[in-house]
Structure formats: C-alpha cells, structure tokens
C-alpha cells in the first residue's frame, strides 16, 4: 500500500513540479525557522536571561536584540507557513481539477455501450469523491517533506549541543517508526473499505433519485429507505472503525516525543548539575524535542491518507485506462439537402464483437448494444445476435417506417444509424460515405436521433431546444411549429423563457416528446431518426407532425406502431427476430405479410380500445358531475 501510495505521489510531483518545489521551499523555510527558534531561545537564555538574573539588571540593547531575533525568526516562520499552505493547496486543487476534467473527457469519449455497463452513481463517484481521495495526501505532503528537513537540522543541532542527550532522545525514534508501521497496517484495509462504501452509497442514492416515480407509485419508499440505510450504516461503521484506529494511535504518536522530552530533561538536568552542558544547551535541546511531535504528526497525516488515495487512484485509472472509443475518419458530408441512407448487411449482437473497437474487458463495444439504455430490443435474452444481415436503402428525402414486434431490433437499429455503437459486421452509409469515416462531429451535424424517452434539462424551453446552439428565436419557433409544439409553448406563462423543471416535470409526456423533436429540427438535420418518438402524442397530432416532416429537407426513418403513421411512409421495413422479414409499401405488406398484418392490426385494436376506455371514463366523470 505504501509503495503504491508513493507512486501516486510521484505522479502528482511530476504533474506540478514547480508548485511542488515552491511549497517544499516554503516548508523548508518553516522547518529551518522552527529549529532556529530553539537556537534563539537557547541564545537568549545564555546571553540575556541568565545574565539578568546574575547581575540583577539588563540593558535595553540586550532586550531589543532578543526581541528582534525572536520576531525575525517568527516572521520568517510565518512566511514559510503561508507559502507552504498556499502552494500545497494550489497544487492539490489543480490536480483535482485536472483529473476531474480528464475523467469527464473520458466519459464523453467512451461509447454509450461502455456507460451501459457502469452504474451512474459509480461514475459520479469516480469524478468527484475518488478524485478528491486520490489527491488528499497532497495538502500535507510538502509539510511532510519539509519536516524531514527539520528532523535533519534538529538532529544535527542536538548532536552539536550534547551527544549523550542526543543518544537518549533518539531512542524514541525506533519506537515511533514501529508504531507508525503498526498504525498503517491496521488503518489501510479499513480506510480502503470506507472509500469503496462511499461509492456504493452514491450508487444507491442515484438509483433512488432516478427511480423516484417508480418508488412513489409502487409504494417502495420504506424499502428504498432501508436499502439506502443499510449501505449508509456500513459506511458509518467503516468510518467509525477508521476513527477508532486513529483515536488509539494518535495519542500514542503524540505521547512518544513527549516521553523523549521527559527523558532528555531528566538526563540533561543531571549533566547540567555536573557542569557537562550549559543551561542554554538544555533549553535548546528540550525545545527541539518538544517539536518532534509535529514532524511525526505531519508524516502520519500523509500516511493516513495513502490507503484512500490508492483506492481512489485505482478507481480513477479504471476510467482513464478504459478503451473502446469510436475512432473517426477525416471525411465530411457536403450539402444541406436530405441525405441518402444505405444499410448494408448489418449484423449486431451483445456477444458478437464489433470489429473495430475492443474495450477493457476484452470484448468489443459494439457487442453490448443498448443495455440499460432503453428501447424494446435491448437484447433477446441478454445475449445473442439482435440484428442479422439487415439491408435497406432510403433515398434522399424519403420516409421509411421500421416496424416489428418487441425484441426485433428496432431501437438497436436506430442507434446504429447515428453511430451510438458500431455494427459487428456490415456498413451504414450516408450519401455513400461510411459513417465510420466521417470526422468527429460530422455525423452529429448531419443526423439527429429523437429517442422515445425524451430527456429535458431544468432549463427554459429555449435552452432545451437550442442546447447552446446560437439560433434566432424565429428558427426556434419554426422548429416548434414542425413539432406541433408552438401552440402549447405560446400558452406557457413566459413562452420560450418558461422553465420546464427537472426532466421537464411541468410538462406532459407528449409535450416533452415534441420539445425533443423540436430540439432535433432546429439543427436542420439531413437525416432524422425517430425511435417511437411520438408514442405519447395524440394520433392526430402525430399525423400532422409526420406530414410536416415530409416538407422539410430531411430523410426520415421512424420506428412506428400506429397504422395512420405507418401509412404515411414511402416504404416500410418489417423486422422479425433481427432480420428484414419484408419491405415495401403499406398496402403491399398488408396483402402479403401475415406477421405484418397481424402486428399492425393488433396495434390498431389496442389504440381503439384505449380510446374507447378514455371516452368511457370521460362519460363517467360527466355523469357523476
């Protein structure tokens, strides 16, 4: 543990060598002035205090000299303290900021499949608590290095004062070293466990917040409280255990130097009585030994933080060393009209390696799919191929509806079209260009995905639609009009400036979906992919949306269920078990595909039953009124 901790500290020193050097210089100044204080006290005792007692008087010059010496040493000592703390803090916070940025950049670089395999609470802990833990020893580190210098100076000064007293006093050092070894061995595993439990508590808390609606509606408040309480209690017990160890050893570490001081005073008074040393030498040596507790404490602070630092470093490096990024090419797509799309023999599976992108556990990113990310086809039985040799073409400006039963691969296909993951085999081409050959950001500037689960930020309507894009309000209103959202937005209290709450809590599901669609349309995509993005919208509104989309300069791929929606598409791709079972016009498929006909009719019957139930409920409410 100590060896690994020293490696982490070496990383910090290499990262900030100048600031570390300045902090150590300041700490060394403090250490030198601390030893100088003992020398000044000894000198003042011999040259000012004892002559004053002997002669019964002193001079203003002697008192002034003593005062100036003590004040000068104190000033330099204070300067060393201020410099040490400033530069040590600066180094610590710079490192924390650097590694938080590095972890965050890595999160953005890693593909979505990697995120699906790691709990969000753990990722939050990696970027916050773990980064703080890694660099926790940095604040006391310059002090510890400086006090080593202090120990060397103090030891030399004590030896010069009196060898016998020095030998007696130095006997305490082996005892302190042994006590530190025992202390670290007892503390290391407990502190490491406490750091791990911090991440677990964060994970449970994040899940509870994310699943707040489920918890409330299913009455699981007590169960979630107990689940969180169990982890929190384990963290409490681990922290209490750390406190017990520190509470036992800290007084012992404090007591050891004090015992050395008592021994020095005892032997020193005997030698003083025999005239072997001067009184000033004894004061000098005794004062230095009283200071030894401080260097030992400073070293202990660093060593006490090492276990947490090592555990945090391992967790942070687990993120920074993760592989599986989606490499980009250098090609660009020109033009601002609708783009043609070709899907050519695409295969994808959760246990089938993606050919380009190995990740840290030896699999491939493409082999993980949507995982926890949603969609209705997140994996047949958690493994096996999801898409098998899927091929179809969408001409520029065309509209294709992807239809299929649950688990047929529709949502996975939409993720492949916008390159959330790469296929295990096959190619997705946009205007004849493999999407893997596009420069970074090139595909995002051309294609947009609107998922079924619309995520809104705790921001204004304008902020949620533009997401930082600099566009005039006219363009925002035009996107809202296409998404059939301009009416309800205009009716909001502050229009575009109305805050929608966390995750759009103040809006209905259909309103959130329409804002998400407007967010895509304001970017004028050449390819628009809708993954059941209007499922919460009234069928009549959905029809108007799709008709409006046909008027835009975009090729549209829509995962659809309703017959009215499907019938608006130029062509339908019908998926079954991850394969293209049939494709063609709506009327053609109704005539020749039994599976398609049964599925579409089942959706229509379900819609009719839902509308009938809603109408009956409205009539019952009217009758009661």
Q: Which tens digit of pLDDT belongs to each residue from 445-454?
A: 888 888 877 7
The pLDDT of residue 536 is above 80: no
- Across the chain, mean pLDDT equals 77
Percentage of residues in the chain having pLDDT higher than 70:
85
355 pLDDT band, cuts 50/70/90, is very low
The answer on pLDDT for 203 being more than 60 is yes
Beta bridge partners, 528, equal 448, 556
**Do residues 403 and 566 lie in contact, with contact meaning Cβ atoms separated by under 8 Å?**
yes
| Residue 257 scores a pLDDT above 50 | yes
Give 387's strand partners. 348
Task: Compute, in degrees rounded to 10, the torsion defined by CA atoms 525, 528, 529, 533.
Answer: 100
Q: What is the DSSP string of 266-311?
A: HHHHHHHHTTSS-HHHHHHHHHHHHHTHHHHHHHHHHHHHHHHHHH
Task: Decide if 77 contacts 291 (C-beta within 8 A).
Answer: no
Q: What is the pLDDT of residue 624?
A: 61
Q: Which residues contact 137 (CB under 8 A, 6 or more apart)?
A: 5, 8, 9, 301, 302, 305, 306, 309
pLDDT at 512 (0 to 100):
85
Give me the sheet containing 447-450, strands edge to edge.
447-450, 527-531, 555-559, 399-403, 571-576, 579-584
3-state secondary structure of 208: helix
Number of alpha helices (DSSP H) and beta strands (DSSP E) in the chain: 23, 10
Whether this prediction's pTM lies above 0.85 is answered by: no
The pLDDT of residue 498: 82
Domain ranges of the chain: 2-320, 338-445+556-625, 447-524
Instruction: Write down the pLDDT at residue 297.
Output: 63
Per-residue pLDDT reduced to its tens digit, 141-190: 887 777 777 777 777 777 777 777 777 767 777 777 777 777 777 777 78
Find residue 579's DSSP bridge partners. 576
Span 412-431, average pLDDT: 84
Distance of alpha carbon 547 from alpha carbon 338, whole angstroms = 16
Please list the alpha-helical segments (H only) found in 522-593: 539-550, 563-566, 586-592
C-alpha triplet 494, 448, 518: angle, nearest 5°: 20
Are the CB atoms for 365 and 113 separated by under 8 Å? Answer: yes
| Three-state SS annotation for 52-84 | HHHHCCCCHHHHHHHHHHHHHHHHHHHHHHHHH
Residue 589 DSSP class: H
Which range among 82-91, 193-202, 461-470 shows the weakest confidence by mean pLDDT?
Answer: 193-202
Q: What average pLDDT does the segment 523-528 reach?
A: 85
pLDDT category of residue 294 using cuts at 50, 70 and 90: low
Selected residue with higher pLDDT from 275 and 614: 275
Residue 277 or 25, more confident: 25
Burial class (CB in 10 A: 0-12, 13-18, 19+), 428: buried
447 φ/ψ angles, rounded to the nearest 5 degrees: -120, 150
Contact of 91 with 138, CB cutoff 8 Å? yes
- Quick check: 450 and 520 in contact, CB under 8 A? yes
Task: For strands 571-576 and 399-403, give the pairing.
Answer: parallel
Q: What per-residue confidence (pLDDT) applies to 577?
A: 85
What distances in angstroms separate CA 102 from CA 95, 106, 108, 116, one per listed residue?
10, 6, 10, 20
State the alpha helices, DSSP H only, in 321-429. Answer: 410-417
CATH 3.40.50.2300 fits 447-524, yes or no: no
The region of weakest confidence among 1-5, 135-139, 432-436, 482-486 is 1-5
Q: Could you say which of 3.40.50.300, 3.40.50.970, 3.30.450.40, 3.60.20.10 is the CATH number of the domain covering 338-445+556-625?
A: 3.40.50.300
The answer to whether 541 and 480 are in contact (CB under 8 A) is: no
Give the residue ranges of DSSP H helices in 162-220: 163-170, 172-210, 212-217
Q: What is the average per-residue pLDDT within 75-84?
A: 88
What lies within 8 Å, CB to CB, of 452 at 6+ separation is: 374, 375, 411, 513, 531, 532, 533, 535
- pLDDT score at 359: 41
477 vs 452, more confident: 477
Q: Is residue 142 within 8 Å of residue 24, measured between CB atoms?
A: yes
Checking if the pLDDT of 613 tops 50, the result is yes
Across the range 188-207, mean pLDDT stands at 77
In DSSP terms, 385 is beta-bridged to 349
CB 533 within 8 A of CB 375: no
> Reduced to 3 states, what is the DSSP secondary structure of residue 343?
strand
Domain 2-320 matching CATH 1.20.1560.10: the answer reads yes
CATH fold match for the domains 2-320 and 338-445+556-625: no
Q: Would the pLDDT of 115 be above 50?
A: yes
Of the pLDDT bands very low, low, confident and very high (cuts 50, 70, 90), residue 619 is: low
| 515 band by pLDDT with thresholds 50, 70 and 90 | confident
Rg of the Cα trace of the chain? 36
Q: Hey, how many other C-beta atoms are within 10 angstroms of the C-beta on 270?
A: 11
Q: Tens digit of pLDDT for each residue in 552-574?
A: 778 888 887 777 778 778 888 88
∠ CA(58), CA(59), CA(60), 5° rounding?
135
Lowest-pLDDT range of 82-91, 111-120, 309-318:
111-120
* C-alpha neighbours within 13 Å on the C-beta side of residue 357: 26
Residue 367 has pLDDT above 50, yes or no: no
CA atoms 331, 332, 334, 336: torsion sign: positive
Rounded CA-CA distance 325/359 in Å is 8
Q: Which of 76-90, 280-294, 309-323, 353-367 has the lowest mean pLDDT?
A: 353-367
What pLDDT sits at residue 374?
42
**CA pair distance 571, 591, nearest whole angstrom:** 14
272-281, Cβ contacts within 8 angstroms, sequence gap of 24 or more: 276/162, 276/164, 277/161, 277/162, 277/165, 278/46, 279/45, 279/46, 279/50, 280/42, 280/43, 280/45, 280/46, 280/47, 280/50, 281/42, 281/161, 281/162
CA angle 599, 580, 387 (to 5 degrees): 105
DSSP string, 87-111: HHHHHHHHHHHHHHHHHHHHHHHS-
Q: Are 508 and 578 in contact (CB under 8 A)?
A: no
Q: Give the burial string for 227-245 (b: 16+ CB within 10 Å, else e).
A: eeeebeebbeebbebbeeb
pLDDT tens for 485-506 read: 888 888 888 888 888 877 777 7
């Amino acid at each position: 543990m100590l060896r690994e901790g020293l490696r982490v500290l070496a990383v910090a020193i290499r990262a900030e060598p100048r600031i570390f050097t300045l902090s150590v210089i300041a700490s060394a100044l403090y250490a030198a002035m601390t030893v100088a204080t003992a020398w000044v006290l000894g000198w003042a005792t011999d040259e000012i205090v004892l002559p004053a007692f002997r002669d019964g008087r002193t001079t203003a010059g002697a008192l002034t000299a003593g005062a100036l010496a003590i004040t000068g040493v104190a000033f330099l000592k204070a300067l060393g303290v201020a410099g040490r703390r400033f530069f040590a803090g600066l180094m610590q916070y710079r490192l924390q900021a650097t590694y938080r940025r590095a972890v965050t950049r890595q999160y953005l670089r890693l593909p979505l499949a990697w995120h699906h395999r790691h709990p969000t609470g753990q990722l939050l802990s990696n970027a916050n608590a773990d980064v703080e833990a890694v660099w926790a020893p940095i604040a006391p580190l310059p002090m510890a290095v400086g006090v080593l210098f202090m120990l060397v100076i103090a030891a030399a000064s004590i030896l010069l004062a009196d060898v016998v007293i020095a030998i007696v006093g130095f006997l305490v050092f082996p005892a302190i070293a042994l006590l530190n070894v025992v202390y670290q061995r007892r503390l290391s595993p407990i502190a490491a466990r406490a750091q791990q439990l911090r991440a677990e508590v964060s994970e449970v808390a994040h899940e509870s917040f994310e699943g707040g609606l489920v918890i409330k509606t299913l009455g699981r408040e007590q169960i979630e409280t107990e689940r969180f309480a169990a982890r929190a209690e384990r963290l409490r017990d681990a922290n209490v255990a750390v406190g017990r160890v520190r509470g036992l050893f800290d007084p012992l570490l404090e007591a050891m130097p004090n015992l050395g001081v008592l021994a020095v005073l005892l032997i020193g008074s005997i030698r003083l009585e025999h005239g072997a040393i001067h009184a000033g030498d004894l004061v000098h040596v005794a004062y230095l030994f009283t200071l030894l507790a401080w260097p030992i404490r400073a070293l202990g602070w660093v060593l006490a933080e090492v276990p947490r630092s090592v555990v945090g470093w391992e967790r942070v490096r687990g993120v920074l060393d993760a592989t599986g990024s989606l490499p980009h090419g250098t090609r660009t797509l020109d033009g601002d009209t609708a783009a043609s799309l070709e899907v050519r023999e695409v295969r994808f599976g959760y246990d089938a390696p993606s050919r380009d992108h190995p990740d840290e556990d030896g699999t491939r990113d493409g082999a993980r799919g949507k995982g926890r990310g949603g969609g209705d086809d997140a994996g047949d039985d958690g493994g096996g191929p999801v898409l098998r040799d899927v091929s179809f073409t969408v001409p520029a400006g065309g509209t294709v509806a992807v239809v299929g039963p649950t688990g047929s691969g529709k949502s996975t296909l939409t993720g492949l079209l916008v390159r959330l993951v790469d296929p295990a085999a096959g190619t997705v081409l946009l205007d004849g260009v493999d999407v893997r050959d596009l420069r970074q950001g090139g595909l995002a500037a051309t294609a947009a995905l609107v998922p079924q689960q619309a995520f809104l930020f705790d921001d204004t309507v304008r902020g949620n639609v533009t997401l930082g894009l600099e566009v005039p309000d006219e363009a925002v209103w035009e996107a809202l009009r296409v998404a059939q959202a301009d009416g309800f937005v205009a009716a909001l209290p502050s229009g575009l400036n109305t805050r929608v709450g966390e995750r759009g809590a103040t809006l209905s599901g259909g309103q959130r979906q329409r804002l998400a669609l407007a967010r895509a349309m304001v970017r004028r995509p050449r390819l628009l992919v809708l993954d059941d993005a209007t499922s919460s919208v009234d069928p009549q509104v959905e029809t108007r949306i799709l008709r409006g989309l046909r008027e835009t300069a975009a090729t549209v791929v829509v995962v659809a269920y309703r017959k009215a929606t499907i019938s608006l598409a130029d062509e339908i791709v019908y998926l079954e078990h991850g394969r293209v079972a049939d494709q063609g016009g709506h009327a053609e498929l109704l005539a020749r595909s039994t599976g398609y006909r049964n599925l579409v009719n089942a959706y229509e019957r379900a819609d009719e039953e839902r509308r009938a139930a809603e109408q009956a409920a409205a009539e019952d409410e009217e009758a009661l009124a």
